[in-house]
Amino acid sequence: MKILVTGGAGYIGSHTIKKLGRKGHELLTIDNLSTGHREAVLFGGFKKGDIRDPVFLKRVFSAFRPQALIHFAASAIVPESVTNPLPYWENNISAMVTLLRAAVEHRVKMAVFSSSAAVYGEPEKVPITEDHPQHPANPYGMTKLVGEGILADCDLAHGLKSVCLRYFNASGLDPDGELVEDREVETHLIPLVLKVAASHERSRMAAKAREQSRLRPVKPAGCPALLRATSDSQSSGAGSSLRPVRAYGPEGEQGAKARPLRHAPSAMRSVVHIFGNDYPTPDGTCVRDYIHVNDLAQAHILALEWLSREKRSGAFNVGNGRGYSVRQVVETARQVTGLPIPSQDVPRRPGDPAELVASSVKIRKVLGWKPEFPELEKIIASSWAYFGRGIEGRK
């Protein structure tokens, strides 16, 4: 199938592209690289551009003539959407209208949309089923709800059938180690926790190396790198103290060519902030349903197959149906890494519901979806393989 993918250079998009590419689909990613990485697009063609630009879209749709659209591109930092909502409406709604106008004009008949558990807001009951009332608790969630509404209208008016996948907390990483999760502004819990773990361990290793070099007059091999790691780890910018990750994939539209994936874990941190310890949950911290990104990617493949078969629209939760509190995530990360991970309780953030856990009954039954990595330990371990790189003697 010819599939146009917006935001395919991002975290979830790049994992989905890899799965779709391996199945032999003909892919074209469009991405403005505002948060994504070109090198993460391992299959198909790539065009750098913005979905807010109708001229760019017209060119892409006319040349590629996609049968289906997968729409990942969005602004997706929940707290930022509360403090600065207008760019969220612009990128998630105005841009989506521009994109769908081009899709309709070019007679695209299938779309898969990255929706979110944020459409539900503070749930009345958990696990949350797809027919649960939708009262988003933040502007980001509102934009996803409106996005679903626009797609419903496009179905009625233009026969554009769509699946809205309401992701719960996307997490984990490509088990082959080819893809990364690296954002300049990181708000997702698991990468934050693992950055703290790695940061502390690196500082400890650097201190040990300094101590050794102080005791020995001859500088040991590898010492400068360790010293450099310390200074990087204390900066708050996007510098990296780790070895670059390598990924192999297509260069432009010319085919496969090996090249390094430039990005490595950035913005080292010293403590995990736990926002709110007085929620009505067993340990007072927020509970979320963590879903491995590969299982999420698989849901897109099943959604496209369902759309081709059934030719009707639908909405599905994508979550494991099991919730973990923030404290449980930090504790599990301590076990997986074998490292002490300091945490600090701080006040609640606005717009954070207490508990978001999916009912995954519908997606299992209707799409035949089944998670391959439902265990939190495995999810965290898959991320640690990346965030813990360069730390000697650690898994």
Ligand X SMILES: NC(=O)c1ccc[n+]([C@@H]2O[C@H](COP(=O)([O-])OP(=O)(O)OC[C@H]3O[C@@H](n4cnc5c(N)ncnc54)[C@H](O)[C@@H]3O)[C@@H](O)[C@H]2O)c1
Q: Indicate which residues carry an active-site annotation.
A: 140
| Cβ-based nearer residue to ligand X, 225 or 238 | 238
Indicate whether 74 belongs to the interface with ligand X (CB under 6 A).
Answer: yes
DSSP annotation string for 113-173: EEEEGGGTBS-SSSSBPTTS--B-SSHHHHHHHHHHHHHHHHHHHH--EEEEEEE-EEE--
- Region at 179 (left for phi over 0; alpha for psi -120 to 50; beta for the rest): beta
Indicate whether 72 belongs to the interface with ligand X (CB under 6 A).
Answer: yes
Least Cβ distance, residue 183 to ligand X (angstroms):
6
Q: Are strands 287-288 and 324-325 parallel, antiparallel or unpaired?
A: antiparallel
Among 51, 137, 189, 267, binds ligand X (CB under 6 A): 51
| Cβ-based nearer residue to ligand X, 39 or 232 | 39
Rule CB under 6 A: which of 6-45 touch ligand X?
6-7, 9-13, 31-36
Least Cβ distance, residue 12 to ligand X (angstroms):
4
Q: Are strands 256-261 and 245-250 parallel, antiparallel or unpaired?
A: antiparallel
| Cβ-based nearer residue to ligand X, 37 or 202 | 37
Indicate whether 4 belongs to the interface with ligand X (CB under 6 A).
Answer: no
Q: Is 29 helix (H, G, I), strand (E, B) or coil?
A: strand
- R_g of the chain computed on alpha carbons: 21
| Cβ-based nearer residue to ligand X, 180 or 209 | 180
Indicate whether 73 belongs to the interface with ligand X (CB under 6 A).
Answer: yes
Cα gap 54→65, rounded to integer Å: 15
Cα gap 314→309, rounded to integer Å: 13
Among 91, 337, 359, 360, binds ligand X (CB under 6 A): 91
The length of the chain is 395
Indicate whether 247 belongs to the interface with ligand X (CB under 6 A).
Answer: no
DSSP annotation string for 49-111: --TT-HHHHHHHHHHH--SEEEE------HHHHHHS-HHHHIIIIIHHHHHHHHHHHTT--EE
Among 52, 322, 364, 394, binds ligand X (CB under 6 A): 52
Least Cβ distance, residue 223 to ligand X (angstroms):
36
| Cβ-based nearer residue to ligand X, 95 or 126 | 95
Indicate whether 356 belongs to the interface with ligand X (CB under 6 A).
Answer: no
Distances (CA, A) of 287 to 123, 245, 284: 12, 32, 9
Least Cβ distance, residue 215 to ligand X (angstroms):
45
# binding residues, ligand X (CB under 6 A): 27
| Cβ-based nearer residue to ligand X, 177 or 223 | 177
Cα gap 181→174, rounded to integer Å: 9
Cα gap 302→165, rounded to integer Å: 11
Residue 359 φ then ψ, to 5°: -90, 125
Among 1, 19, 50, 394, binds ligand X (CB under 6 A): 50
Residue found under tokens 């032999």: 24
| Cβ-based nearer residue to ligand X, 32 or 325 | 32
Q: Which stretch in 47-55, 210-218, 232-240, 252-260 sits in contact with ligand X by CB under 6 A?
A: 47-55
Indicate whether 95 belongs to the interface with ligand X (CB under 6 A).
Answer: yes
Rule CB under 6 A: which of 139-198 touch ligand X?
167, 169-170
Least Cβ distance, residue 227 to ligand X (angstroms):
32
Cα gap 216→306, rounded to integer Å: 66
Cα gap 223→317, rounded to integer Å: 49
Rule CB under 6 A: which of 108-137 touch ligand X?
114, 116
> Under the rule (CB under 6 A), what is the footprint of ligand X?
6-7, 9-13, 31-36, 50-52, 72-74, 76, 91, 95, 114, 116, 167, 169-170
